[in-house]
Structure 1
Amino acid sequence: MKKFIALFSVLSFLFGCNSPADKKTKDKLPRVAIAGIGIESSTFSPATTDEAAFHARIGDSIFGRYHFFADTTSIRQRAEWIPTVLGKSIPGGIVTREAYESLVEKTLKMLEANAPYDGLFFDIHGAMSVQGIPDAEGDLIKRIREVVGPEVMISTSMDLHGNVSYDLAKHSDLITCYRMAPHEDALESKQRAITNLLDRLESGKGKPAYKAYVPVPILLPGEKTSTRIEPGKSLYAKVPDVADEDGVIDAAIWIGYAWADELRNHAVVMTYGDDEEAVKKGAEYLANSFWEVRNQFEFVAPTATLDESLAKALSSNKKPFMISDMGDNPTAGGAGDVTWTLNELLKRPEFKKENGPSTIYASLPGPDLIEKALVVGVGKRVKGMVGAQVDDRFAPPIELEGTITAIKEGDRDAEVEVVVKVGSIHVIVTKKRKPYHHKKDFTDLQLDPENSDIVVVKIGYLVPELYDMRSDWIMALTPGGVDQDLERLGYQNIKRPMFPLDADMETPNLKAQLIPLANQ
């Protein structure tokens, strides 16, 4: 039935059929605000995140983040949009209280100035940690509610590695998250959150009658829960079937975020809709499905120590052999400047000669070396300090000396990038930290990753372009703020028992809790 209704709506739009919803939309478009602050923050990293890292967009510039907001799209035409503040940072350390309060104040002022609203699209990651606030997104949405009022329908879009606290669930009328890891469906999920919101506003049905919430005491790293492999692949394949049930609007499974030590950090399942039984049944089905396969989760690729990983790479005839430097992955919340892995590479005799195995290391921040490189230029020798300005727990800063092969200025995140060749290793040094996820990130620096022997990247599971590029791949169990060995992290605040930290725990109560509407 739901699929038939959806098909009818599409045909009506294409052929200009005038349904009551069409007439209502033409007569008075709903007023919908856009707001959000998004980051994935490791509390196990000594790094902190300031306001500049969020590159906040204000007003109409926000539309540029979403292809489906082009002027000619039906979504753009279905509402009167009021974009306020949208700040998105690459993952990092805990957000300073000053940065958070500044972004929140700007958001609330714009929301207050442009009120009233019928709806609000709340675009967050869900794993933001803020100094002195144990549930940042819960705090943010409550403060937004105080401004926009309890009747406004809020549709929340999240990363599946976000955390859904009770407060976030209560104040979100509609809530969804990605269904793929890596997150190839990120924009599709945001569009679903907006479409669900518009459908409810245009139909006059209002907020869903029922929201089911099931905390699942599982906390796993993303590298073990990829939807590329089982059991994540089959588990997430169940979500659309539940969401498509009559009486259900949407359904979602959150893996949660493993590298923050907060009470809200655990898996969650939510469903919502107008049929109480269907909503509860769907949530409990997904939660029990998750619990039943908890012991089957494994790393998405082979793992080994760095020495073992290098031995495999050096003995391989496949190009490129990719090594994930996982412990300091900046796209999971690592500081991105741990020097331990590069230090180990530079010690190896295989890489000391220029004609050794061609290797790329991406990357380390090194403002000192960057400054000196800009003075001498490409083709010259340079010596400067790199790394360990933030996280020096595992190795000290490195005095890197080599030949500059490329300099690039103007990057959004790195600002300045310099490639320094040391022996047979091309080391990418940045002014500020940057993840290297795309072929263009390398080729813009005159590097050829596809024909290099070894590519070492600060990352966990490979994002699509790197995954497609690899000939072979291993994930190295390296140290850092997003250590994959959760036992070494030393949690103090998460709720116990928690799988897999308490592997022999009893089966938990996975009955759905019905959460009241925000205006109740």
Structure 2
Amino acid sequence: MSLRIGIAGIAIESSTFSPHRAALTDFDVRRGEELLLRYEFLEADWAENVEWVPLLHARSLPGGAVLPEVYDDLSAEIIDLIRSAGELDGLLFDIHGAMSVVGREDAEADLATRVRAELGPDVLMSASMDLHGNVSRELGTAVDLITCYRMAPHEDAIQSRERAARNLVERLQSGLGRPGKAWVQVPVLLPGEKTSTRIEPAASIYQRVAEIADESGVLDAAVWVGYAWADEPRCRAAVVVTGDARELIAERARELAQSYWQARSEFAFVAPTGTLHECVAAGLASSARPFLISDSGDNPTAGGAGDVSWTLGELLTVDELTSGTATAIHASITDPEAVAACVAAGVGNPVSVEAGGRVDPGPSGPVALSGTVFSLSEDPVGGTVAVIRVGGLHSILTSRRKPYHHLADFTLLGLDPAATDPVIVKIGYLEPELYKLAEDWLLALTPGGVDQDLLRLGHHGVLRPLFPFDPEMADPVLEPELLP
């Protein structure tokens, strides 16, 4: 049986508390054969006899809400490409689930509904999502199959996309048509740093997800923790179990929703936490090297603008660092103007800049930074990268937003985390390479667009009651709905 399956989607995680706005230049937009390179599993045995029809996929580093004209143009092109693609049997809908668009609500549901209208009712649509996405009733109704990652950090991202594609192919080949979908939202909204699958209770909940997905009569099972740094009614945990045994999938969706709700107070930060100064003091006193500190409030892989300079300003008040009796690395601040000043000064020469605070001023605005240009380099993600040394403190500045997740990100700048005292990185939970690298690790509760203290961000658009905003709320009725 020969199948024609299209591939399309827009993927970004958007903090509505960040003043950053995602422009077209923030997206890696792929069409045609370049799009297919994103999916190495398309050569697998199960994908034989499938003609994969690449339409458009746009992916961005997390950031602020997407400019409406950017969303409108990308979504319109997806619809036009579906219209001109010829007859399709299915569509792989590759999204994140936490895209916000300025002035809009529930962007993924809007896109999915428009795609569904163009595809018609008979073309099966399978959505692949991040577990930090949101699943509204409208999104769940528009798609036929839906799944998400089962690991945070997302070490199974490729496997999850493959599962979404494989489930679609197998469903089409079976001739069984669309499965049942048992959907239920859970009124809990927690940051990813409290719901990591490295620790309990998320570890056990997601183990159970995999067990349920393997049951006879069940096609797939998924639990979304939701996205904590957007302020929309859809933002909350959700469960979807798909399959043909309708009573069973409803029972399993109810079980997963109840287990998530019952564990709501057990979710804890994935590492010990403290103020920035508490964490830096602990790092300086510790003999563990590398000693990693997460500068969590402006994490660019969760939606932070990447240029909040408050942490840098505070580090400049630590005498051990500015005097050079101790060393530290801070990664990083996006500031193309400051980087240009470093390039003009040259390596080894003094430089004075106002760093950061141009997109998200945070509590400090730009910070005065005077030191020596330690190194200059070019990075495929971060653009031109400059390191300014002030005493023992090495401040990394980038011309474009960039996360620092790998040892090579530092060594290519002439920096050695293992030979440095605290290494402060704009990140939440540590990504795998840094996690393995760290001899010790603390999570600093710093300000920014992805502040871990949700209660001080000022949510007003989420549906209430909602935990932890309403800690004494009554137990909700968690009765799954069988979506059409």
Same-fold status (TM-score > 0.5): yes
Counterpart of 1:309 in structure 2 is 279
Counterpart of 1:21 in structure 2 is none
2:18 aligned partner, one-letter code? S
Cα pair 1:31 1:118 within 8 Å, conserved: yes
What are the equivalent positions in structure 2 for 1:6-405 lying under 5 Å apart?
24=1, 29-69=2-42, 72-208=43-179, 210-354=180-324, 356-405=325-374
Report the Cα offset of residue 76 of structure 1: 4.8
Gap regions ≥5 residues in structure 2: none
Cα pair 1:32 1:81 within 8 Å, conserved: yes
Cα pair 2:270 2:429 within 8 Å, conserved: yes
Cα pair 1:366 1:385 within 8 Å, conserved: no
Counterpart of 1:502 in structure 2 is 470
SS in 1 for 2:229: coil
Counterpart Cα distance in 2 of 1:80 and 1:220: 40
Report the Cα offset of residue 455 of structure 1: 0.4
Cα pair 1:246 1:278 within 8 Å, conserved: no
Instruction: Name the TM-score, length of structure 1 as normaliser.
Output: 0.91
1:225 aligned partner, one-letter code? T
Counterpart Cα distance in 2 of 1:451 and 1:83: 47
Q: Per-residue CA shift, 1:423-477, capped at 9, x if unaligned?
A: 1011110001111011111112121112221100001111111111111111111
2:111 aligned partner, one-letter code? L
Cα pair 2:47 2:166 within 8 Å, conserved: no
1:60 aligned partner, one-letter code? E
Q: Per-residue CA shift, 1:89-109, capped at 9, x if unaligned?
A: 111011110111111122122
Gap regions ≥5 residues in structure 1: 1-23
Cα pair 2:383 2:400 within 8 Å, conserved: yes
Report the Cα offset of residue 378 of structure 1: 2.2
Counterpart of 1:12 in structure 2 is none
**2:437 aligns with one of 454, 469, 474:** 469
Counterpart Cα distance in 1 of 2:399 and 2:9: 27
2:339 aligned partner, one-letter code? I
Cα pair 2:309 2:362 within 8 Å, conserved: no
Report the Cα offset of residue 374 of structure 1: 2.3
1:365 aligned partner, one-letter code? T
Report the Cα offset of residue 75 of structure 1: 4.8
Report the Cα offset of residue 385 of structure 1: 2.4
Counterpart of 2:461 in structure 1 is 493
**1:455 aligns with one of 410, 423, 432:** 423
Cα pair 2:275 2:444 within 8 Å, conserved: yes
Task: Find the structure with the greater CA-based Rg.
Answer: 1
Structure 2 CA distance for partners of 1:64 and 1:382, relative to 1, 3 Å: farther
What are the equivalent positions in structure 2 for 1:390-429 lying under 5 Å apart?
390-409=359-378, 411-429=379-397
2:415 aligned partner, one-letter code? L
1:274 aligned partner, one-letter code? D
Give the length in aligned residue pairs: 484
1:245 aligned partner, one-letter code? E
Counterpart Cα distance in 2 of 1:496 and 1:313: 40
Counterpart Cα distance in 2 of 1:371 and 1:341: 22
Counterpart Cα distance in 2 of 1:43 and 1:399: 28
Counterpart Cα distance in 1 of 2:117 and 2:251: 33
1:238 aligned partner, one-letter code? R
1:284 aligned partner, one-letter code? R
Cα pair 1:119 1:152 within 8 Å, conserved: yes
Cα pair 2:362 2:447 within 8 Å, conserved: no
After TM superposition, the structure 1 stretch with the greater mean CA deviation from structure 2, 393-402 or 121-130, is 393-402
Cα pair 1:30 1:80 within 8 Å, conserved: yes
Structure 2 CA distance for partners of 1:105 and 1:290, relative to 1, 3 Å: same
Cα pair 2:90 2:125 within 8 Å, conserved: yes
Counterpart Cα distance in 1 of 2:482 and 2:402: 42
